[in-house]
Amino acid sequence: MKTILITGCSSGFGLEIARHFLERDWNVIATMRTPRADLLPPSPRLRVLPLDVTDAGSIAQLMADAGPIDVLVNNAGIGALGALEGIGIATVREVFETNVFGTIAMTQAVLPQFRLRRAGVVINVTSSVTLKPLPLLSVYTGSKAAVNAFTESLALELAAFDVRAHLVLPGRAPSTSFGANAKERLQMHEAYAELTENVFAGWAQSTEAVTQAGDVAEAVWRAATEPDAPMRLAAGADAVALAK
Ligand SMILES: NC(=O)c1ccc[n+]([C@@H]2O[C@H](COP(=O)([O-])OP(=O)(O)OC[C@H]3O[C@@H](n4cnc5c(N)ncnc54)[C@H](OP(=O)(O)O)[C@@H]3O)[C@@H](O)[C@H]2O)c1
């Protein structure tokens, strides 16, 4: 029976990915900054373990507790919304610490066992904003584009060891906590107030297709289980349309 370890399972895509694999008889290690046993259906195949991807000690403890794993999903991520002039460099660092350095550190933590076993899959969740740029998301988009480039280069060096790396690019998913969390990091700059209002009004009125958490879980499933899955998997009708 295979084991998947997923980061950021307290809500949204991570929680749904954990559910999806549990329902398909995988062992699931659902990691959360603040572990909660009540979010997922009880199962002897489920372990909920603590992980903050920005904390090297937390990663080392997790790897010591987790045992062998077959698939790593780097899903934990945060957004930052607003015009660049209004975003402090501390927020920029926070976004890159989680989205980029957290992903790289977790990947480094699993690679020795994948390489020695000559098997394993790394799946990094980025975003369709890297396919079509949107205003007010420059820092977030930069972080996700960095993970795209990182993963595509890494896949080439891992192929010699039969280890795979893939990208899942979800579209806009208003149903998760992501938007509200990103808005908490919204730093308004007066000069961009009108632009910001217009962009928000556009999103609020949009009737375009959006992404559901289930779309992301399905794309992660394909990356994990199909040996010839494409390098990039768009997830959600909006992301699929952009990727064409
Ligand atoms: N929703 C969208 O529109 C959208 C679109 C494209 C891509 N994405 C990407 O999809 C991924 C999941 O987002 P989501 O929509 O499911 O948002 P979400 O509901 O806010 O989930 C994000 C998860 O990341 C966790 N997290 C944040 N910082 C962390 C850290 N330092 N260490 C460990 N976990 C941490 C959060 O945990 P806490 O509860 O502890 O904060 C939460 O479980 C993210 O990488 C995001 O960038 C989202």
pLDDT score recorded for residue 187: 78
Can you name the residues that pair with 232 across neighbouring β-strands? Answer: 167
pLDDT score recorded for residue 32: 98
pLDDT score recorded for residue 186: 81
pLDDT digits (tens, 9 = 90+) for 78-127: 999 999 999 999 999 999 999 999 999 999 999 999 999 999 999 999 99
What DSSP string describes 125-189? E--GGGTS--TT-HHHHHHHHHHHHHHHHHHHHHGGGT-EEEEEEE---TTSSHHHHHHHT----
Contact between 169 and 233 under an 8 Å Cβ cutoff? The reply is: yes
Residue 230 — pLDDT band, cuts 50, 70, 90? very high
pLDDT score recorded for residue 167: 99
Both tokens assigned to 237: 């009708």
* DSSP for residue 77: -
pLDDT digits (tens, 9 = 90+) for 153-203: 999 999 999 999 999 999 999 999 998 888 888 878 999 999 999 999 999
**Residue range of the domain that includes 168:** 3-243
Which of 13, 1, 7 is CA-nearest to residue 178? 13
Atom of ligand 1 at shortest range from CA of 216: 10
Residue 239 — pLDDT band, cuts 50, 70, 90? very high
| CB-ligand 1 contact for 52 (6 Å cutoff) | yes
State the chain's mean pLDDT as an integer.
97
pTM assigned to the model:
0.98
Catalytic residue among 96, 140, 150, 178: 140
Q: How many CA atoms lie within 13 A of 133 on its CB side?
A: 9
In the chain, what percentage of residues exceed pLDDT 70?
100
| CB-ligand 1 contact for 236 (6 Å cutoff) | no
CA 79 / ligand 1 centre spacing (Å): 8
Over residues 24-39, the mean pLDDT reads 97
Over residues 204-232, the mean pLDDT reads 97
CA 6 / ligand 1 centre spacing (Å): 11
Over residues 41-50, the mean pLDDT reads 98
| CB-ligand 1 contact for 173 (6 Å cutoff) | yes
pLDDT score recorded for residue 126: 98
Contact between 75 and 7 under an 8 Å Cβ cutoff? The reply is: yes
pLDDT score recorded for residue 183: 83
66: domain CATH number?
3.40.50.720
CA 15 / ligand 1 centre spacing (Å): 10
pLDDT digits (tens, 9 = 90+) for 116-144: 999 999 999 999 999 999 999 999 999 99
pLDDT digits (tens, 9 = 90+) for 54-87: 999 999 999 999 999 999 999 999 999 999 999 9
If one counts the domains in the chain, the total is 1
Ligand 1, atom 29, lies closest to the CA of 76
192 is catalytic: no
